[in-house]
């Protein structure tokens, strides 16, 4: 038994040296030597990258869509496939083209190698903050990362349902993976936590994936989010958004706003009319009216920022000149996204008319070696730091 253990350790060491993993101990595949990490049950603020990634994969409120699973576990996708997905895998079992984080995803690999721990307080709101985050799914990712940090720290005291009460479109699967077609969104967690493209397996949880949220925190701060909700994001419904901004949170005005222009109206009437691989330029198509509304209906004391989507070349990233100050996501030149399974190991600029790398970046990642933290938590933390500066 001792001899066998010694051989296993020797084999692991040789393999690690061959691919450079000696610099990155947490990526070493020790699955034969020790059990996989288990979710943390504590409210510790400082967590290792691996521990935090594990917690995020087990967060039953986290949309599975934003978790990247690069294991080859030979499962058929348990949900309806898009035409593009059909083209790549032709209904065969999945063999993900990302071989490992270390080999295929240098930005994610470097981040986990160079950072031994993550400070969850960098994702928490200051006391008394009333923040609204608004946009499409690229902003939604940061929202869920911030939400998850407060949940892990035990700081959520109430979830307000009033934001969604006006319209049935607000509740349901709403762009989160829905394998059943019955409106059940697929979130993380379960006996065998999975990410894209394996979302929808029987071990994943069904959850609410609303298009609008409001969370109340123990320090008096609140977080409101509105994402891909046509009822609040089409030009013809601008008055509804205006009323929501004027109302604030239970009568208290919003103090901060991180805003991404929504999809074109075609997205809400014809989803194929505004997709990341078909749309050339960033923008909602009614920018002048859109930003005038935000600047008029928020109090003058509110800190309003324009946070454009990533993935557009400079000439295609159209920033409205009379809008608020701009804060840009730092995507760390990451080439691995949740869509990487449908391309040749990475998401490439050549796949998109915009000229840039698009796709949902990873909040957390799994490969055959275990869990890694994606780039989104650092993106969201930098966004909050800039907002408060």
Tell me how long the chain is.
Answer: 389
CB 215 within 8 A of CB 222: yes
pLDDT in tens, 154-202: 999 998 867 777 677 776 654 454 433 444 556 777 777 888 877 765 5
Top-confidence residue, 160 or 149: 149
Q: Three-class SS of residue 47?
A: strand
Lowest-confidence range among 70-74, 302-306, 351-355, 358-362?
351-355
Does residue 105 fall inside a structural domain?
A: no
Does residue 356 fall inside a structural domain?
A: yes
Strands 67-69 and 156-159: unpaired
Q: Which residue from 383, 380, 375, 382 is spatially nearest to 68, judged by alpha carbons?
A: 375
Residue 114 burial (CB < 10 Å; 0-12/13-18/19+)?
Answer: exposed
Q: What is d(CA 349, CA 346) in angstroms, rounded to the nearest whole number?
A: 10
Residue 213 burial (CB < 10 Å; 0-12/13-18/19+)?
Answer: buried
Q: Is the model's pLDDT at 79 over the cut of 80?
A: no
Does residue 311 fall inside a structural domain?
A: yes
Count CA within 13 A, CB hemisphere, residue 142.
32
Lowest-confidence range among 68-82, 223-237, 349-363, 371-385?
68-82
Most confident of 67-76, 327-336, 346-355, 375-384: 375-384
Query: What is the distance between the terminal CA atoms of the chain, rounded to a whole angstrom?
Result: 58
Q: Which domain holds residue 309?
A: 118-388
Element (H, E) at 158: strand 156-159
Q: Is the model's pLDDT at 25 over the cut of 90?
A: no
Instruction: Write down the pLDDT at residue 160.
Output: 81
Number of independent structural domains in the chain: 1
Strands 205-207 and 130-135: unpaired
Q: Is the dihedral of CA 137, 142, 145, 150 positive or negative?
A: negative
What angle, rounded to 10 degrees, do the helices at 49-57 and 106-114 form? 120
Does residue 274 fall inside a structural domain?
A: yes
Chain mean pLDDT for the chain = 78
Q: What is d(CA 267, CA 189) in angstroms, rounded to the nearest whole number?
A: 30
Query: What is the torsion angle, in degrees rounded to the nearest 10, for the CA atoms of residue 325, residue 381, residue 152 and residue 232?
Result: 30
Q: How far is CA 291 from CA 129, 141, 285, in A?
A: 22, 22, 12
Residue 35 burial (CB < 10 Å; 0-12/13-18/19+)?
Answer: exposed
Q: What is d(CA 362, CA 360) in angstroms, rounded to the nearest whole number?
A: 6
Does residue 373 fall inside a structural domain?
A: yes
Does residue 94 fall inside a structural domain?
A: no
Q: What is d(CA 362, CA 334) in angstroms, rounded to the nearest whole number?
A: 10
Task: List all residues 6 or more positions away from 35 whose beta carbon is below 8 Å from its beta carbon.
Answer: none
Does residue 266 fall inside a structural domain?
A: yes
Instruction: Write down the pLDDT at residue 275.
Output: 59
Residue 171, Cβ neighbours under 10 Å: how many? 17
Instruction: Write down the pLDDT at residue 90.
Output: 46
Q: Which residue from 217, 94, 215 is spatially nearest to 144, judged by alpha carbons?
A: 215
Q: Which residue from 277, 333, 339, 310 is spatially nearest to 98, judged by alpha carbons?
A: 339
Strand ranges (E), 201-286: 205-207, 212-217, 222-227, 256-259
Does residue 78 fall inside a structural domain?
A: no
Instruction: Write down the pLDDT at residue 93.
Output: 44
């Amino acid at each position: 038994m001792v001899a066998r253990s010694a051989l296993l350790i020797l084999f692991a060491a040789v393999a690690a040296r061959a691919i450079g993993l000696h610099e990155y101990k947490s990526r070493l595949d020790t699955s034969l030597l020790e059990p996989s990490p288990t979710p943390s049950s504590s409210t510790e603020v400082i967590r290792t990258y691996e521990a935090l990634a594990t917690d995020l994969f087990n967060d039953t409120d986290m949309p599975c869509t934003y978790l990247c699973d690069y294991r080859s576990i030979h499962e058929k996708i348990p949900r309806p496939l898009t035409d593009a997905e059909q083209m790549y895998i032709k209904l065969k079992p999945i063999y993900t083209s990302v071989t490992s984080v270390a080999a295929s995803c240098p930005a994610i690999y470097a981040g986990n190698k160079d950072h031994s721990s993550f400070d969850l307080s960098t994702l928490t709101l200051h006391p008394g903050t009333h923040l609204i985050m608004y946009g499409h799914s690229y902003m939604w990712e940061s929202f869920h990362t911030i939400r998850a940090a407060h949940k892990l720290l035990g700081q959520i005291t109430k979830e307000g349902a009033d934001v969604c009460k006006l319209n049935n479109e607000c509740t349901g699967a709403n762009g989160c993976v829905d394998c059943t077609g019955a409106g059940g969104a697929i979130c993380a967690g379960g006996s065998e936590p999975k990410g894209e493209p394996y979302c929808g397996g029987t071990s994943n949880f069904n959850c609410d994936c609303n298009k609008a949220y409001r969370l109340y925190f123990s320090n008096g701060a609140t977080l409101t989010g509105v994402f891909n909700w046509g009822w609040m994001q089409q030009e013809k419904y601008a008055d509804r958004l205006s009323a929501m901004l004027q109302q604030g949170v239970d009568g208290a005005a919003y103090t901060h706003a991180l805003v991404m222009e929504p999809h074109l109206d075609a997205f809400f009437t014809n989803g194929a009319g505004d997709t990341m691989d078909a749309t050339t330029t960033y923008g909602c198509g009614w920018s002048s009216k859109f930003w005038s509304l935000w600047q008029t209906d928020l109090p003058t004391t509110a800190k309003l920022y324009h946070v454009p989507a990533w993935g557009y070349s400079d000439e295609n990233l159209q920033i409205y000149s009379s809008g608020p100050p701009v804060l840009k996501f730092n995507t760390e030149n990451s080439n691995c996204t949740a869509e990487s399974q449908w391309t040749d190991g990475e998401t490439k600029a050549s796949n998109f008319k915009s000229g840039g790398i698009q796709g949902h970046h990873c909040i957390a990642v799994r490969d055959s070696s275990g869990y890694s933290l994606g780039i989104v938590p650092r993106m969201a933390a930098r966004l909050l730091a800039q907002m408060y500066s």
